[in-house]
Structure 1
Amino acid sequence: MLTKVFVAVALVAMAGAAPTDVYGHQEDYKSQPIPYQFGYGVHDDYSGNDFGQTETSDGHTVKGSYSVKLPDGRKQIVNYIADHIGGYRAEVTYQGKAHHPSHAVHAAPSYHSEPAYHSEPTYHSAPSYH
């Protein structure tokens, strides 16, 4: 009887000492927020590309802005703030005046493949034997 009680106590002690996470993770496995900042920009007169972005974070709130030149000539600017409480909030503004080309836009030329030569069928008469 004493052996049964000893085994039961040992099993209870082992169950209490066993980790609750079978994979061995720490309870707080999330990393701490790290402040950061970055930015980039592209301005190419030849292709007409003009866009960029800047962003900063204090580890809890992200603030930033991005912009792009639109085909109508305006520049679209989006300023935003994002956090775990308010979510993503953005304000969109435009700079410049929209304009459209005054000349007609023509479709790009299309190319059709054609055979390099045109051959007519050739008929030979059957040989005649005398």
Structure 2
Amino acid sequence: MNIFIIVSFLVVALGTALCHHHEHYFIPHYHFKYGVHDPHTKDHKSHEEHRHHDDVVGSYTIDEPDGSKRIVEYTAGKHTGFRAIVRRIGPAHHPHGSSFYGVTHWGFGSGR
């Protein structure tokens, strides 16, 4: 009986020593890219991003309603934080519209 207990203990001890628990570490890594170019709605934009470990690099562009284009290039990291460079290309065109200076909701404004 004592030998059975000793052998059982040795089997459990040997089995525990041979079975090492390994943690699986997942390294984040991805890359995506997309764009929209719709002449009907005039919706033009793009976005691209790449991540490897804790470092992210990306950019996006969008055609603004005023006719200019916004370009944003960014980086992000565990130790550097988020940093972006924003540029606007092209002149902004604003359409001329009607002026409602002096007009109130109830119609008693001067309208001039």
Match of 2:105 in 1: none
Q: 2:47 aligns with which of 31, 48, 53?
A: 53
Could you tell me how far 1:33 is from its partner in structure 2? Answer: 2.0
TM-score normalized with structure 2 length:
0.62
1:87 matches 2:52: no
Q: Identity percentage over the alignment?
A: 37
Greater strand share, 1 or 2?
2
**CA offsets per residue over residues 33-67 of structure 1, 9 Å max, x none?**
23211010001111010111000112221000011
1:38-117 mapped onto 2 (5 Å cutoff): 38-102=32-96, 104=97
For the aligned residue pairs, the C-alpha RMSD in angstroms reads 2.2
Query: Gaps spanning 5+ residues in structure 1: where?
Result: 1-25, 106-130
Paired positions, count: 79
The match for 1:120 is none
* CA radius of gyration, larger in: 1
Spell out structure 1 runs of 4+ moving beyond 4 A.
26-29
Q: Kindly state the Cα deviation for residue 85 of structure 1 after the two structures are TM-superposed.
A: 0.2
CA–CA separation in structure 2 for the residues paired with 1:78 and 1:64: 8
In structure 2, C-alpha distance between the alignment counterparts of 1:94 and 1:34, rounded to whole Å: 32
Q: What TM-score results when the alignment is normalised by the length of structure 1?
A: 0.54
Unaligned runs of 5+ in 2: 1-20, 99-112
